[in-house]
Amino acid sequence: MSARDFSGSSPAPGAGGPAPASGAPLPATAEDDREPAVQAGRQRVVWRPDQVLIQHDIPGLSDLRDDTSAGRLLVRSFVRAQLGLSLMCLTFALTVTASFPVIAAMVPAVTRVMVAGVPLTLIVLGFAFYPVFLVVGWFYNRQARQLEARFTSLVDPVSRRPDV
Amino acid sequence: MSDAAVSAIAFVTLLTIMVGARGIRVARTPDDFMVAARQVRPALNAGAISGEYLSAASFLGIAGLVVAQGLGALWYSVGYTAGYLVLLLLVAAPLRRFGAYTIPDFAVGRLGSRGLRLTATALVLVIGWFYLLPQMKGAGITLQWVLGTPYWVGVVILGVVVSCNIAMGGMKGITFVQCFQYWLKLCAIGIPAIVLLIAAGHSSSPNLTPERAPVFTRATVVTMTQATGFTLSHPAEATVSGLIDQRTYRDQAVRLCACRHVAGPGTRIGFAAGAPVPVSLAMEPSSGQSWDSPFVTSGTGGAHPLAATYGVIIATFFGAIGLPHILVRFYTNPDGEAARRTTLIVVLLLSSFYLFPTVLAVLTRLQAPQLYLSGDSDSIVLALPSLLLPGLPGELLAALVAAGAFAAFLSTSSGLLVSVAGALSHDFMKRGVTAFRWCAITAGAVATIAALLIDRFPLALLVGWAFAIAASSFCPLMVLGIWWRRLTRIGATAGIVIGGGSCLAAIVSSMLGAAASGWGAVLLGQPATWTVPLAFGVMIVVSLLTQRTVPANVGQVMLRMHLPEALGRQAYRTVSQASWLSPDRPASGP
């Protein structure tokens, strides 16, 4: 597999000392001329048959790899933000749905309300919750995508550049 | 019953068998699955997930339960949909990035323990079998209704078709067929619902108002298929032919008092328009709740409806995460972001589907109240079209419904049987195609035999129980495994064993009739209220006590699950090939 082949011949990531600050990514192990893949600051890696990735040496990433305290902090805060978003959406959806039985038990009059000849219970349980689920899911997807984009640009600003 | 229905069922079954025969080389291993379906678009993938998910309980069970026990049963359809929202919020993207095919794979990849793997596999078998039973039952009553064959014939036919089909080649990996099954099911329940709704007009019927007991909107003859006890809300004139209250009548006018009556099998009772609809004693919620109450009464004998409702809510909301046949579908998404999009589309597809059982149940309540006297609420959806729409159109609609129902049994039970047989052959026997075949046949036979014993439980209740077991075992494993670094294998094993075990014990004792009323009935019949918190609690406490066994690679696994793919692949290059964490291969043991 190409992934394996690469790992065997790849320079140890993060071992290249201080990484380039920005601009065209410099190879961390440019002096390692045994590597045919390492050429002129870029490395072309066939990672999966369907994908061609361009590797850079990125300061944020080597932090993550090495599990340095900075990297750990970064990842933990990111995971925590994701979890917070999930729990917020979950709490909202649960509150909207699971509060209905309690309300109906405490105020039985609610279950006798008729809307245009149809019991409120039928409208709520049969139809009303589904749009709520869809809106919560849509909101979550949008926010999660934004969180990930923000995190990616934080640790890997280079790959955001359109010319790379 | 009708030739149209028979040929529709035969068509769906033959289609499935043909696809299974063609699939011999298509879907043998997870790797085939991955190669074949790596780049499945979210819309197609979501259709396939929904097609596999919508089972007999959704197609027949919910409408029947709503008609028989009231609007509270709609919590099942709300919960089945919400389950996917919870899955989206908590596990969809990280699970895809982790790249496990099955729950035991996830358990061992995250925590690395052979014992945990065996425990998880055993639970896959329990949940899979529990979920297979209602599918078999659905097939039994569908054929019973269409062909008039005894209950066991349909059960055995479905068991044989599915087992042989899986043993031959399986239909698991064929995304397109699963997706087609979703649209078939949607049409098979949506078209009849809309047509019957139009046919029924929008005449405001009195049966929806809570104050009055339901009355017949037109003269109706009720035929008792079995000995039935029923009550009337007020006295009524009726034309009786057959045995009632230990007296035999021959088309005689009888004045039935507002009290309990017993009708013998085959008795026909003709009611005039405006007469009260008899309430079957077997169906009557024992708490005396009205039909429009928003509480669940099934499985608990009607005791403590609020607690029972929360039991269903917790079980269904959190159970979908732990279903054994759903997880593998997520691996066909290209990345975590696509997994999230797919899951959101699944929520949309399920929401659209679940509108229609509600419509059918309300139509039955309004237009054909005699159906919920018959004793078996699960056949209501099948019987409704030809009852409301006489002649050819009704028969065609009935055929469509029967075909959709069979599609539901076939797709769900195929997916389940693949999971069960895969777990059996992978973890308890030697690997290989032959072992997998024998496991498929054995698992199918066990489910068929067990299904012959459970025909008195409503479909939706049985499926709800499978969800309860999943919610009290695998849900905590997945949620804590993804979000909590300090989970240990000992904690996970203890949580699965105690949570899943107590839930299973409660359900089995409820099935055996251990407690018929009071708190016992609620805590045993809808156990998720206490078993889910118990499983989470045990898992957390035991993990905190065994912190020394936290896996050394937990940080890397967390990175892998939570980093966006573009970053994750680069950050992971060094660790990913070192061990079983390789992204191109499933975790397969320490």
**B451 and B518 inside one domain:** yes
The domain spanning residue B462 has which CATH number? Answer: 1.20.1730.10
Contact between A122 and B71 using a beta-carbon 8 Å cutoff: yes
Residue A31 belongs to some domain of the structure: yes
Q: Which residues of A touch B528 (CB under 8 A)?
A: none
Contacts by A78-85 with C-beta closer than 8 Å and gap 24+?
Answer: A78/A147, A78/A151, A78/B562, A78/B563, A79/B483, A79/B558, A79/B562, A81/A147, A82/A144, A82/A147, A82/B562, A83/B483, A85/A140, A85/A143, A85/A144, A85/A147
DSSP state of A109: G
Closest listed residue to residue B396, CA positions, set B191, B567, B568: B191
**A75 and A53 inside one domain:** no
**B20 and B112 inside one domain:** yes
pLDDT over 70 at B576, yes or no: no
Name the pLDDT band for B569 (thresholds 50, 70, 90). Answer: low
The arithmetic mean of pLDDT across residues B397-406, rounded, is 85
Q: Which residue has the higher pLDDT, B219 or B498?
A: B498
First to last CA, chain A: 26
The boundaries of the domain holding residue B358 are 3-200+292-576
pLDDT in tens, B229-276: 677 767 777 888 877 777 788 777 887 777 777 777 677 777 777 777
Name the pLDDT band for B581 (thresholds 50, 70, 90). Answer: very low
**A76 and A48 inside one domain:** no
Residue B581 belongs to some domain of the structure: no
Cα(B462)–Cα(B133) distance, integer angstroms = 8
Percentage of chain A exceeding pLDDT 90: 18
pLDDT over 90 at B535, yes or no: yes
**A103 and A36 inside one domain:** no
Residue A163 belongs to some domain of the structure: no
Query: Residue A13: its pLDDT value, please?
Result: 40
Residue A38 belongs to some domain of the structure: yes
Residue A64 belongs to some domain of the structure: no
Query: Which two three-digit tokens encode residue B423?
Result: 């777990």
State phi, psi for B586 to the nearest 5 degrees.
-70, 155
Query: Which two three-digit tokens encode residue B247?
Result: 């007296």
Closest listed residue to residue B519, CA positions, set B536, B506, B503, B502: B506
Residue A162 belongs to some domain of the structure: no
**B327 and B439 inside one domain:** yes
Query: Residue B335: its pLDDT value, please?
Result: 81
Contact between B577 and A114 using a beta-carbon 8 Å cutoff: no
**B44 and B92 inside one domain:** yes
ipTM over 0.85: no
**B263 and B350 inside one domain:** no
The arithmetic mean of pLDDT across residues A93-106, rounded, is 89
**A83 and A152 inside one domain:** yes
Contact between B564 and A100 using a beta-carbon 8 Å cutoff: no
Contact between B82 and A129 using a beta-carbon 8 Å cutoff: yes
**B47 and B156 inside one domain:** yes
Name the pLDDT band for A62 (thresholds 50, 70, 90). Answer: low
Q: Which residues of B touch A125 (CB under 8 A)?
A: 71-72, 74-75, 78, 294, 358
**A102 and A148 inside one domain:** yes
The boundaries of the domain holding residue A21 are 2-57
Q: Compare all CA atoms of chain A with the CA of B563 and give the residue at the minimum distance.
A: A148
Cα(B377)–Cα(A82) distance, integer angstroms = 44
**B243 and B386 inside one domain:** no
**B503 and B551 inside one domain:** yes
Residue A62 belongs to some domain of the structure: no
Domain count, chain A: 2
Residue B75 belongs to some domain of the structure: yes
Domain count, chain B: 2
The single residue listed with the structure tokens 């409208």 is: A123
Instruction: Note whether B267 contacts A: Cβ–Cβ < 8 A.
Output: no
Closest listed residue to residue B464, CA positions, set B282, B291, B298, B285: B298
- Residue from the list B292, B306, B577 with its beta carbon closest to the beta carbon of A101: B306
State phi, psi for A54 to the nearest 5 degrees.
-110, 125
**B341 and B476 inside one domain:** yes
DSSP state of B277: P
**B255 and B360 inside one domain:** no
* Residue B2 Cα, gap to closest chain A Cα (Å): 32
**A31 and A82 inside one domain:** no
Query: Residue A8: its pLDDT value, please?
Result: 35
Instruction: Note whether A143 contacts B: Cβ–Cβ < 8 A.
Output: no
Residue B300 belongs to some domain of the structure: yes
Residue B15 belongs to some domain of the structure: yes
Instruction: Note whether A148 contacts B: Cβ–Cβ < 8 A.
Output: yes
**B108 and B161 inside one domain:** yes
Residue A91 belongs to some domain of the structure: yes
pLDDT over 90 at B354, yes or no: yes
pTM: 0.79
Q: Compare all CA atoms of chain B with the CA of A153 and give the residue at the minimum distance.
A: B567
Query: Which two three-digit tokens encode residue B101?
Result: 């095919």
**A36 and A105 inside one domain:** no
The single residue listed with the structure tokens 């691996």 is: B331
Q: Give yes or no for a contact between B502 and B531, defined as CB atoms under 8 angstroms apart.
A: yes
Instruction: Note whether B90 contacts A: Cβ–Cβ < 8 A.
Output: yes
Instruction: Find the radius of gyration of the CA atoms of chain A.
Output: 26
**B179 and B262 inside one domain:** no
